[in-house]
Amino acid sequence: MISRSLLLLRRITRQLWFRVVALSLFSLLALAVAPLLTPVLPEDLSDRFGREAVLPVLTILASGMLAVTTFSLNVMVSAYRTASSMATPRVYRLLLEDTVTQSVLATFTGGFVYSLSAIILFRAQIYTPQAAIVVFGITVLVVILIVVAILRWIDHLSDLGSMDHTLRLIETRCRDSLLARKDTPCLGGNCGEAPPPQDATAIPAARSGFVRFADMAALNTLAEKADVEVHLIRLPGEYVLQDRPVAVAEGADQTFCKAASGLIDIGDVRSFEQDPSFGLTLLAETAQRALSPGVNDPGTAIEVLGRIERLLWENLPKDTEAGRDDIRFPRVHLAPVTAKELLKASFPPIFRNGGDTPEVMEWLEKALTALEDHPNAPMSTAAREMRGSLFG
């Protein structure tokens, strides 16, 4: 279970600008270090690999990388908008975290910053003839990196923005989220399905929005120091209004409640970190879009049902009634993720939109029938009850 600070760091590193800025700064650092390596180089190499040899290459890189970067950004935005229109608008934020696209664009931008900065330094006559040899070597390395990035980009473009790529991306993130809860259905805390005490002190939400992350380790440490018990009443994925209770604490004062409130991240949109039903919701929304009259694509809906069935069969959180060996934060209580909630996020939305499509209804019923044989007893029971309520 990661802390909130590590979570924020991971979110930052997944943003496009982070890799672009990091690689651009690295290219500038390489140019700054180049003069320091000149004492180890023989002087006779400056005639072959000096200023006149490297400047034309840098000029080509500076002009070419700017055009390639602009073109690639246009392609990326167009592909992501197409994917959002085919699947669900909420997948756009997930597509922006595509590491291949980020690395390729960062390489192109870094190459442009490097070449333009090197040209400026050469024109300002800052580099000595020996330093130009080092810059030539770095330029060769940059060219190799750019060629590799172009090859990766060409391969990635064949799949970027397609329905297969979008569904695969959603399924992967959903699987990761389910696996994170597979052995810790209560995030390492106590599974408190019973309502908290009536006299407990409310921990207000710092802002209105979706609960996205609860720093369980920090909450447990804070509760141990204050000798209190914390009950989360708004789980990740649920919406809460500002100053409304997001949790309660037994025997706590207002100072504790204010500190605890800062350990629960609330944002405008849901996230995958502690919300396993979010990925299932995105898959269900994709199937709903495919079944709309304007699209009329039952094949995509059937593919989505297959992916949901696979996710629920292979990555279901364990039954909390079968014994607990994962309690690491005993001072924090929250309700476990249940099979019924996961099924509710998956199948009913597709059922509502696919009632006029027999092949989709047939597959949906088969999926629920298969899940009735799940070794997890709550999933088996929930699947049986849902199949009865949907199909009679």
329-334 and 189-191 beta bridge pairing: parallel
pLDDT computed for residue 40 by the predictor? 56
d(CA 156, CA 279): 23
pLDDT tens figures, 200-222? 889 999 999 999 999 999 999 99
Residue 160 has a pLDDT of 86
- Which of 265, 238, 254, 245 has its CA nearest to residue 204? 245
Q: What are the residues facing 239 on neighbouring strands?
A: 210
Given a cut of 80, whether residue 275 has pLDDT beyond it is yes
For CA atoms 283, 284, 288, 291, the dihedral sign is positive
Contact 387, 365 (CB under 8 A): yes
In our burial notation (b when 16+ CB lie closer than 10 A, e otherwise), range 104-137 reads bbbbbbbbbbbbbbbbebbeeeebeebbbbbbbe
Indicate if the pLDDT at residue 345 is higher than 90. Answer: yes
What counts of helices (H) and strands (E) characterise the chain?
Answer: 15, 8
Where are the chain's structural domains?
A: 4-160, 162-392
Q: What are phi and psi of 110, to 5 degrees?
A: -60, -40
Look up the CATH architecture of domain 162-392: Alpha-Beta Complex (3.90)
Q: What is the pLDDT of residue 277?
A: 93
pLDDT above 80 (res 192): no
Give me the pLDDT at residue 85, please. 85
Task: In whole angstroms, give the CA distance from residue 330 to residue 189.
Answer: 5
Predicted pLDDT of residue 207: 93
Confidence of residue 387 (pLDDT cuts 50, 70, 90): very high
pLDDT for 266 beyond 80: yes
Q: Is 220 helix (H, G, I), strand (E, B) or coil?
A: helix
- Tell me how far the alpha carbon of residue 12 is from its chain's centroid: 11
Answer whether residue 7 shows pLDDT above 80: no
Does residue 88 register a pLDDT over 90?
no
Distance of CA 85 to the CA centre of its chain: 20
As a whole-number percent, the residues of the chain with pLDDT over 70 amount to 93
Q: Which residues have a Cβ under 8 Å from the Cβ of 118 and sit 6 or more positions away?
A: 31, 54, 58, 135, 139
Which segment, 60-74, 185-199, 317-331, is predicted with the most confidence on average?
A: 60-74
Cα separation of 29 and 117, whole Å? 11
Residue 2 scores a pLDDT above 70: no
With 80 as the cut, is the pLDDT of residue 37 above it? no
| pLDDT above 60: residue 41 | no
What's residue 96's pLDDT?
87
- Model confidence at 50, pLDDT cuts 50, 70, 90, reads low
pLDDT of 321 reads 54
* CA separation for the pair 153, 25 (Å, rounded): 22
* 295-335 pLDDT, tens digit each: 889 999 999 999 999 999 988 776 655 455 568 898 999 88
Where does the pLDDT of residue 12 fall: very low under 50, low under 70, confident under 90, or very high at 90 and above?
A: confident
- Quote the pLDDT of residue 47: 57
Give the three-state DSSP class for 233. Answer: coil
Tokens of 361: 């209804």
Q: Answer whether residue 347 shows pLDDT above 60.
A: yes
Q: What is the mean pLDDT of residues 268-279?
A: 91
- What is the overall mean pLDDT for the chain? 87
Angle at 226 between CA 225 and CA 227, to 5 degrees: 95
C-alpha span between 341 and 349 (Å, rounded): 13
